Amino acid sequence: MILIIGGGIGGLTLALNLHRAGIRCQVFESAKEIKPLGVGLNILPHAMRELSFLGLESNIAKDAIETRDVSFYNRFGQHIFTETRGRFAGYEWPQYSIHRASLHDVLMKAVYDRLGSDAIKKGHRFKELEQSNEGVVAHFNTEGSCPGVRTYRGCAIVGCDGIKSVVRSSFYEKNDPLIYSGITMWRGITKWPPFLSGSSMVYAGWLETGKVIAYPISKTDDGMHIINWLCEFYCPPRNPKGDWGQKGRIEDFIWSCKEMTFSWLNIPEMIKAAEVILEYPMVDKEPLKKWSFGRVTLLGDAAHPMYPRGSNGAGQSIIDARCLADNLTSECDEVTAFRKYESDRRPKTSAVVHANRSNPPDAILREVYERTGDKPFKELNDVISVDELEALSDQYKKIAGFKLEAVHNNKSPM
Ligand SMILES: Cc1cc2nc3c(=O)[nH]c(=O)nc-3n(C[C@H](O)[C@H](O)[C@H](O)COP(=O)(O)OP(=O)(O)OC[C@H]3O[C@@H](n4cnc5c(N)ncnc54)[C@H](O)[C@@H]3O)c2cc1C
């Protein structure tokens, strides 16, 4: 029995992969009740590929928007670059924009359907572990019907307990701080009319003066869209704890986008109509030199917390889950499987952590901002060529593993 600590995106995807491989597992989640927390995220084709193999694509599609294109603008609304995405760009798998809670719900229902009603033990907060040559023991503080302390035994532990992982801190108690990027993000959702192609993702502005990202994540019955938006800029740390649920205040950031009243989207008006505003610091941690300790390993944000930019936080955890399940299937013991999983995934995800710091997918906007000195341009070609724009976009795709050839060449699950 594999003990999965954390029933977030990575933990649940791992449970589904292990079930498919015929490996027994049990998920432990600290939350007593799963609430629809967070806002939107993107599932890129490399992650959708794995979710499709798990038979989840049609359920995801029910409450998501299939992204058609991504467009970049400067803060004056001048168009810089557009590229198609997912199936519209020739991938076999789509790109979806979705509320995190909807994705989580699809995964959770699939886990209950396939693994049974007791597959997720809620109200179980992991505290500490022990291991020997024979197996592992995990200790939990429990809430709910039988509050107290509970202990479970298994053959291995996978820490999927997110950016503040307690499993990780069992091995890295010291010198493992959250590192603030200097950027704070305000995120929210607003019911608003469709814009551009109706399934476009847009990036506008740059971090020195204020950058906005907006994309639809679902449709409403009256023809409107639920738009996920994000407004971010450089500022001193405000919420360094990295709490996904922290409420945000419009007066703290609306000034940064007040002139982004584009003909195709009035950004300040859309933000003023928000149903939810959250504030989150862009934080990550230094990539680790080791994730696997005998019968214990890490997955997702617990292993490689990264800035939530480039749509890779959820995606990389989904890919980790497939890789870990494949190794547990092909190796005859957990220790070897964990070592092999780590040697495949650690260098790749460390590269994404670094790319998200220095060469994110919207580096295009930084280039144009710097070359124009934050002024409107007359001819884009005088500032940057189409070849350079494509090269910048391709560079991130290559590092994050979602270049078309890489996604298509990857083998099907074992
Ligand atoms: C409430 C919440 C809201 C989020 N909102 C967004 C968002 O809007 N946009 C975005 O891009 N990303 C968001 N994220 C982060 C995003 O889900 C992750 O970056 C990504 O999906 C990687 O998934 P993960 O499974 O590694 O981590 P997570 O999805 O963070 O899952 C970790 C899970 O472990 C549980 N857990 C933590 N500590 C313990 C413990 N001691 N014992 C047992 N269980 C524990 C948590 O409750 C959580 O369910 C959010 C995460 C959370 C937890």
157 lines ligand 1 (CB under 6 A): no
Check whether 36 has a pLDDT greater than 80: no
CA–CA dist 201, 198 (Å, integer): 9
Residue nearest to ligand 1 atom 27, measured at CA: 162
* 153 CA distance to ligand 1 middle (Å): 24
Check whether 255 has a pLDDT greater than 80: yes
Cα→Cα distances 4→10, 162, 171, 306, 357, Å: 10, 12, 17, 21, 29
What phi and psi values does residue 167 have, to the nearest 5 degrees? Answer: -65, -45
* 405 CA distance to ligand 1 middle (Å): 30
Out of 160, 165, 213, 226, give the residue to mutate to test ligand 1, the one with the largest number of ligand atoms within 8 Å of its CB.
160
188 lines ligand 1 (CB under 6 A): no
Kindly report the length of the chain.
414
pLDDT exceeding 90 applies to what percent of the chain? 81
215-218 CB contacts, 8 Å cutoff, 24+ apart: 215/40, 215/42, 215/65, 215/67, 215/97, 216/65, 216/97, 217/40, 217/64, 217/65, 217/97, 217/98, 217/99, 217/102, 217/189, 218/63, 218/64, 218/65, 218/98, 218/99, 218/102
Check whether 35 has a pLDDT greater than 90: no
**pLDDT value of residue 413:** 59
pLDDT in tens, 297-338: 999 999 999 998 877 889 999 999 999 999 999 988 999 999
28 lines ligand 1 (CB under 6 A): yes
- The pLDDT-based confidence of 240 (bands split at 50, 70, 90) is low
Residue 175 or residue 386, greater confidence:
386
Out of 14, 121, 317, give the residue to mutate to test ligand 1, the one with the largest number of ligand atoms within 8 Å of its CB.
317
Check whether 48 has a pLDDT greater than 70: yes
- The pLDDT-based confidence of 59 (bands split at 50, 70, 90) is very high
Average of per-residue pLDDT across 407-413: 70
- The pLDDT-based confidence of 260 (bands split at 50, 70, 90) is very high
**Assigned token pair, 262:** 């584009």
Average of per-residue pLDDT across 383-395: 91
Residue nearest to ligand 1 atom 37, measured at CA: 161
Residue where the block lists tokens 């003066």:
209
Tell me how far apart the terminal alpha carbons of the chain are, to the nearest angstrom.
Answer: 20
30 lines ligand 1 (CB under 6 A): yes
For the chain, the average pLDDT equals 92
CA–CA dist 356, 206 (Å, integer): 15
**Assigned token pair, 151:** 């202990």
Q: Are 338 and 292 in contact (CB under 8 A)?
A: yes
* 119 CA distance to ligand 1 middle (Å): 18
**pLDDT value of residue 398:** 79
353 lines ligand 1 (CB under 6 A): no
Q: Are 349 and 341 in contact (CB under 8 A)?
A: no
Quick one: which of 140, 112, 116, 118 has its CA closest to 5? Answer: 140
Out of 41, 50, 217, 239, give the residue to mutate to test ligand 1, the one with the largest number of ligand atoms within 8 Å of its CB.
41
23 lines ligand 1 (CB under 6 A): no
Check whether 32 has a pLDDT greater than 80: yes
**pLDDT value of residue 27:** 98
Residue 364 or residue 409, greater confidence:
364
**pLDDT value of residue 394:** 85
Out of 244, 278, 297, give the residue to mutate to test ligand 1, the one with the largest number of ligand atoms within 8 Å of its CB.
244
pLDDT in tens, 352-382: 999 889 888 788 999 999 999 999 999 999 9
pLDDT in tens, 160-205: 999 999 999 999 977 888 999 999 999 999 999 999 999 999 999 9
Residue nearest to ligand 1 atom 19, measured at CA: 313
pLDDT in tens, 85-127: 999 989 999 999 999 999 999 999 999 999 999 999 999 999 9
The closest-lying atom of ligand 1 relative to the alpha carbon of residue 127 is 41
* 9 CA distance to ligand 1 middle (Å): 7
pLDDT in tens, 61-75: 999 999 999 999 999
The closest-lying atom of ligand 1 relative to the alpha carbon of residue 10 is 25
Cα→Cα distances 55→18, 64, 232, Å: 14, 16, 35
The closest-lying atom of ligand 1 relative to the alpha carbon of residue 8 is 31
DSSP 81-139: EEEE-GGGGT-SS--EEEEHHHHHHHHHHHHHHHH-TTSEETTEEEEEEEE-SS-EEEE
280 lines ligand 1 (CB under 6 A): no
Q: Taking the model in full, what pTM does it have?
A: 0.94
41 lines ligand 1 (CB under 6 A): yes
Check whether 144 has a pLDDT greater than 80: no
**pLDDT value of residue 414:** 54
